Amino acid sequence: MIDLQKNKLLFLLLLCPWFLFSQVLDLYNQQCAGCHASDLKGTPAGSSLLESPLKYGDSHFALSKSIELGIKETPMIGWGELLKKDQIDSLADFILKKRAQKPQKIQEASPQIIMTKDYKIKIEIIIPDGMTHPWGIDFVNENMAYITGHKGELYRMTNGKLDHVPIKNLPEVFAYDMVGGMMDIILDPNHPKNGWIYLSYSYTPTGTKDPYAPGMTKIVRGKIKHNRWVEQQTLFEAADSILVKGGKRWGSRFLFDRKGYLYFSIGDMQQSVQSGNNPQLKHRAEGKVFRIYPDGSIPIDNPYGNDNTALKGIYAWGTRNVQGIAQHPKNDIIYFTDHGPRGGDEINLLQNGANYGWPIISYGVNYNKSIITPYTEKEGMEQPIRYYDPSIAICAAEFVIGDLFKKWENDLLVTALKYQEIRRLKVDGKNILEEEIILKGMGRVRDVKIGPDQAIWVLTNAPDQLLRITPIE
């Protein structure tokens, strides 16, 4: 006679290791993968956990202490108040087991097919490797695009392939571990005639790799001739007196609107609460959206264009880390995403002279759940049209144009890093009429662009790759 009770116990014992592994995997993906990636290879927000040796120790004790207490003067916060000791120990065990595994050979992936509300879409991996933490992409034409890399690279894609001829003489970027680096790229609207390309990157005038060197996001334009970056012009560079030491959250995104103005964002450099609410100070660059002419001159109707006590390029302020900005194809409304704290990601309408409140108001809290501010609204400060709690780690933004995705025409695409998503939003001014996740789980979605072929082109980190999305029917 079969002893059902014993068989049930045996089944549970066999199931137990898988169940425990599933639990710690979920815990890692919830708390760690946002910075260190689901494959532990690191992202621009956090270092690789597979490198040998680990900088701060790779024993079980060292890993547990790093998780519990954090690492001072780095983006790694302590999780001791949020996680139990057994959870911290299980994460350390999980990391050690992953470090001990032999790397698997990467095989070329077949296109994925996904059903959305309106389309069956095909997702092709165009560039599966060869890029290091790509950040921004812009197209020259259907056959060529430029892609920025975190460590200061400028990649060129030609006919769907990565061009391995390097572009030389690029500006020196300040990129220490996962801090700073090359960020966004945009081509001049008249690029076929004038050749101008615009770059944003982390910069320190000392030229050092010291993470505590004074620095700030810098905006330049230049041209590429014979595989060399030439004719560089500086459009924005902060004065030495307002540079930040040990800063993080540098930004940055570009937009050319239909009137020819160039917008760019600078993050709050993690100088919001510790250093006197710098995003609220008009003589500082942190936590601002700027508007300039393509040559760097200041539009006369900027809110502080005639104020000698403020930075004249400021267009809006009180933001945390704007990493997406896009103009509606049919009107002048500009939308931007603000990468917030825990529970404070936002979508906003960009307005001349508007204050978006950070860090005086916020719907989020610190990553350890401590309170940033008790206020979610205040007179004279703008409200988001959408905020995400829990945070999705919101990033890039782009409007759908063209006939290829006709049913999605004029819909807003926003991307998520931690949640590895692209969301499609049907917007009408301040109203979001519909929201749908159209991509999930293929990497931290860093940038999204509608290409000259009207396909949706996607840059991801962890893994670092370029995707192309098209409808099948």
pLDDT, one tens digit per residue, over 405-463 is 999 999 999 999 999 999 999 999 999 999 999 999 999 999 999 999 999 999 999 89
Residues 337 and 248 in one domain: yes
The reported pLDDT for the residue numbered 63 is: 74
Q: List pLDDT tens digits, range 352-364.
A: 999 999 999 999 9
What gap in Å lies between CA 343 and CA 372, rounded to an integer? 11
- ∠260-193-131 over CA atoms, to 5°? 85
> Could you tell me what percent of the chain has a pLDDT over 70?
89
Q: What is the CATH number of the domain that holds 174?
A: 2.120.10.30
User: What would the DSSP string read from start to end of 236-271?
Assistant: E---GGG-EES-------EEE-TTS-EEEEE--TT-
Q: List pLDDT tens digits, range 217-269.
A: 999 999 999 999 999 999 999 999 999 988 888 889 999 999 999 999 999 98
Q: What's the pLDDT band for 39 if we cut at 50, 70, 90? A: confident
Does residue 12 surpass a pLDDT of 50?
no
Does residue 154 surpass a pLDDT of 80?
yes
- The arithmetic mean of pLDDT across residues 113-126, rounded, is 96
For the chain, the straight-line distance linking the first and the last C-alpha, in angstroms and rounded, comes to: 57
For tokens 């790509």, name the residue: 134
Most confident of 98-102, 247-251, 396-400: 396-400
Distances in Å between the Cα of 347 and the Cα atoms of 303, 335, 383, 415 are 22, 7, 9, 11
Poorest-pLDDT segment among 64-68, 145-149, 320-324, 327-331: 64-68
Q: What's the pLDDT band for 14 if we cut at 50, 70, 90? A: very low
The reported pLDDT for the residue numbered 105 is: 45
Q: Is residue 204 part of a domain?
A: yes
Q: Is residue 105 part of a domain?
A: no
For tokens 């400060």, name the residue: 381
Final residue belonging to a domain, choices 50, 80, 100: 100
Number of domains within the chain: 2
Q: Is residue 106 part of a domain?
A: no
Q: List pLDDT tens digits, range 57-70.
A: 777 776 777 877 77
Find the domain containing 27 and state its range.
4-100
Residues 74 and 120 in one domain: no
Does residue 4 surpass a pLDDT of 90?
no
Q: What's the pLDDT band for 29 if we cut at 50, 70, 90? A: confident
Residues 307 and 386 in one domain: yes
Residues 59 and 202 in one domain: no
Q: Is residue 417 part of a domain?
A: yes
Distances in Å between the Cα of 338 and the Cα atoms of 281, 343, 387 are 18, 12, 9
Query: Could you tell me how far CA 318 lies from the centroid of its own chain?
Result: 19
Average pLDDT of the residues of the chain: 88
Residues 171 and 90 in one domain: no
The reported pLDDT for the residue numbered 274 is: 52
The reported pLDDT for the residue numbered 211 is: 78
What gap in Å lies between CA 399 and CA 456, rounded to an integer? 10
Q: Is residue 396 part of a domain?
A: yes
Query: Could you tell me how far CA 334 lies from the centroid of its own chain?
Result: 19
The reported pLDDT for the residue numbered 72 is: 67
3 state SS of 12: helix
Residues 75 and 142 in one domain: no
The reported pLDDT for the residue numbered 2 is: 44
State the number of CA atoms in the 13 A half-sphere of 5 facing the CB.
0
- The arithmetic mean of pLDDT across residues 76-83, rounded, is 74
- Total number of residues shown for the chain: 473
Is-above-0.75 flag for pTM? yes
The reported pLDDT for the residue numbered 246 is: 82
The DSSP 8-state label assigned to residue 43 in this structure reads: B
Poorest-pLDDT segment among 2-16, 56-70, 137-151: 2-16
Residues 209 and 338 in one domain: yes
The reported pLDDT for the residue numbered 15 is: 45
Could you tell me which residues come within 8 angstroms of residue 85 by beta carbon, excluding any fewer than 6 positions away? 68
Residues 208 and 293 in one domain: yes
Final residue belonging to a domain, choices 100, 132, 158: 100
Q: Residue 341 CB: number of other CB atoms within 10 A?
A: 19
Does residue 92 surpass a pLDDT of 90?
no
The reported pLDDT for the residue numbered 83 is: 77
Residues 86 and 121 in one domain: no
Q: List pLDDT tens digits, range 155-169.
A: 999 999 999 899 999
Contact 254/242 with Cβ under 8 angstroms? no
Residues 264 and 169 in one domain: yes
Q: Is residue 251 part of a domain?
A: yes
Q: What's the pLDDT band for 74 if we cut at 50, 70, 90? A: low
Residues 80 and 121 in one domain: no
Measured over the CA atoms of residue 148, residue 149, residue 151 and residue 153, the dihedral's sign is: negative
Q: Is residue 395 part of a domain?
A: yes
> Could you tell me what percent of the chain has a pLDDT over 90?
65
Residues 216 and 322 in one domain: yes
Does residue 11 surpass a pLDDT of 50?
no
**Helical axes 4-31 vs 85-100, angle rounded to 10°:** 90
Final residue belonging to a domain, choices 57, 72, 100: 100
The residue type found at 450 is I
Q: What's the pLDDT band for 18 if we cut at 50, 70, 90? A: very low
